[in-house]
Amino acid sequence: MIYPAQLFSKKNGAVICHLCWNRCRLEEGEMGVCKARVNKDGSLYTLTYGNISAMESRPIEVKPFFHFKPASTTMTFSTYSCNLTCPWCQNWHLSKTPPPESYRVVKPSEIVEAAIKSGDEGLCASFNEPTLLFEYLLDLFPIARQKGLYNTMVSNGYLTPKALEMLRNSGLDAINIDIKGNDDVYNKYCVREGKASFVWTTVRKAVKLGIHIEIINLVITGVNDSDDAILEVIENHLKYAGENIPIHFTRYFPAFEFMNPPTKIEKLEKAVEMARREGVEFAYVGNIPGHRYENTYCPQCGELLISRMSYRVLVNRIADGRCSKCGKEIYGVW
């Protein structure tokens, strides 16, 4: 099943997709790198509209969002495939599977109804790369907003600034962006002629648009875990996102086609300490349940503001968006 796509141009019988930074040029019948968009009769179509692969209610902390509606839950949903080729993907059973050609279209209203029935406060497009649901999200987000739900995404950040702006205008409230590392990491593992600067440009656009944003850096043994590599991520985080935007250094585990050992916990602890030393106000570890660096502390007075255990919020002392002890404003949507 195919549906008309947006964000493309035509040139000499080919179409050029402008959804993500791959900017695939497609001749008649060709699919993009994502295997989710196709040139048919000189126009671009999507194969993922309403093509939903999974849907379940999950805590917002899973994403991870630590500064957006803590302790709330989202109806989390996905489609198939991806616009990157990372060999360590945790959700490879979805991201490495092309969209089925025949499927039952899940109407946007069905996602919203499922969220309301489950008592969720919002929606989250996640699991695989949600950019591939672009046209669907443009229809879904306004319906969710009308019903009082918030809209979030967990993304690799490889979508173009124009695509992000259109999502924001449709009701996107928050986005978690996964930065893989530097250009070498993108080129070697994730995408041909990839550039980390593309993702950081999207990060800057999100900040400019007023979208709540949090950054995640999966620290992978032997790939992007050197002090220099981590410092480069931190410096770009400060340059493109800003000191108050949270960053999560997450523990990698072997998955799909990548079997390097899991990230050393000491490496993640050092990354958090480096980030704080460089001026990042909120730095966290991920995939280490119960670690002290899962908690939120006031960057001004050091007060413990949010205590977490894995995906559960145990204590929340943030009052009206400020530290309950010294009154410093804490970035987030509380």
pLDDT tens by residue, 84-126: 999 999 999 999 999 998 999 999 999 999 999 999 999 999 9
Pair (234, 114) in one structural domain: yes
Pair (69, 134) in one structural domain: yes
According to the model, what pLDDT value does residue 310 have? Answer: 87
Pair (61, 136) in one structural domain: yes
Pair (168, 265) in one structural domain: yes
According to the model, what pLDDT value does residue 192 have? Answer: 86
Domain count, the chain: 2
What is d(CA 132, CA 279) in angstroms, rounded to the nearest whole number?
35
Query: Is the residue at 94 inside a domain?
Result: yes
According to the model, what pLDDT value does residue 14 have? Answer: 96
Pair (98, 168) in one structural domain: yes
Q: Which residues pair with 247 in a beta bridge?
A: 215, 283
Query: Is the residue at 199 inside a domain?
Result: yes
Q: Return the C-alpha torsion angle 286, 238, 314, 61, nearest 10.
A: -60
What is d(CA 96, CA 75) in angstroms, rounded to the nearest whole number?
22
Pair (7, 104) in one structural domain: no
According to the model, what pLDDT value does residue 13 have? Answer: 85
Where is the domain boundary, 29, 46, 63?
Answer: 46
Positions of the chain with pLDDT under 50: none
Query: Is the residue at 326 inside a domain?
Result: no
Pair (64, 193) in one structural domain: yes
Pair (115, 39) in one structural domain: no
Pair (73, 206) in one structural domain: yes
CATH number reported for the structural domain that contains residue 159 in this entry: 3.20.20.70
Query: Is the residue at 313 inside a domain?
Result: no
Pair (60, 19) in one structural domain: no
Query: Is the residue at 324 inside a domain?
Result: no
Pair (199, 60) in one structural domain: yes
Q: Where are any strands of DSSP class E within the chain?
A: 3-4, 8-11, 14-17, 25-26, 37-40, 43-46, 54-59, 73-78, 122-125, 150-155, 174-178, 212-219, 247-251, 283-286, 296-297, 304-309, 312-316, 318-319, 322-323
What is d(CA 297, CA 51) in angstroms, rounded to the nearest whole number?
41
Enclosing domain of residue 134: 54-294
pTM comes to 0.97
For 54, the token pair is 């999974």
According to the model, what pLDDT value does residue 218 have? Answer: 98
Query: Is the residue at 329 inside a domain?
Result: no
Query: Is the residue at 325 inside a domain?
Result: no
Query: Is the residue at 244 inside a domain?
Result: yes
Pair (42, 140) in one structural domain: no
